[in-house]
Amino acid sequence: MKMRWILLVVMLVAMLQACGNKEYKPREIVSETDVCEVCNMSIVHEDYAGQIALKNGDYKMFDDLGCLVEYMEDMDNDNLGQAFIKDGGGKDWVDVKTASYVYDKETWTPMSYGVIAFKSEGAAKDWMSEKKVGKLLSFADLEDFKWGVHH
């Protein structure tokens, strides 16, 4: 009898854990219809795009990292599933909280904020040494970053 109870508890814990570990995946950009949630710009430069997967299954799309960060600052964190940004090569989606960032005033982005994301700190440093420009930033740095005032 005791064994049965233990088994039941273990199964319930496993079920609850499965519910809690929902995996969020980025979705494809649809240039014809996707617009930035913050600035209304059409998302035509996919290499700089970002998105937030909400817990309710909806997605919020952004044309530039700056718009995504602005939206995250204002949103209710309880609704946030996972936020993604395209890495510097524009191929892969990376988690905004684990990505590394480089700011360079002359680097073009759709909102001309000049901040681009990389999968890892190493990739960011490689880009900086190749281009000989840029300042390394973390996600925490972005929360205080003054978007759009560098022009």
Give me the DSSP letters along the chain: -HHHHHHHHHHHHHHHHHHH-PPP------TTT-B-TTT--B---GGG-EEEEETTS-EEEESSHHHHHHHHHHS-GGGEEEEEEEBTTSS-EEETTT-EEEE-TTS--TTS--EEEESSHHHHHHHHHHHT--EEE-HHHHHH--TT---
Q: Is 79 in the site for other proteins (CB under 8 A)?
A: no
Q: Is 151 in the site for other proteins (CB under 8 A)?
A: yes
Of 5-13, 37-45, 53-61, 122-130, the window that binds other proteins (rule: CB under 8 A) is 37-45
The pattern of x and - marking residues 95 through 114 that bind other proteins according to CB under 8 A reads ----------------xx--
Sole binder of other proteins in the list 41, 54, 75, 136 (CB under 8 A): 41
Q: Is 39 in the site for other proteins (CB under 8 A)?
A: yes
Of 34-42, 83-91, 92-100, 121-129, the window that binds other proteins (rule: CB under 8 A) is 34-42
Q: How far is it, in rounded angstroms, from Cα 48 to Cα 50?
A: 7
Report, in Å, the least distance between residue 87 CB and other proteins. Answer: 19
Report, in Å, the least distance between residue 33 CB and other proteins. Answer: 6
Binding footprint of other proteins on the chain (CB under 8 A): 31-33, 35, 39-42, 44-46, 111-112, 148, 151
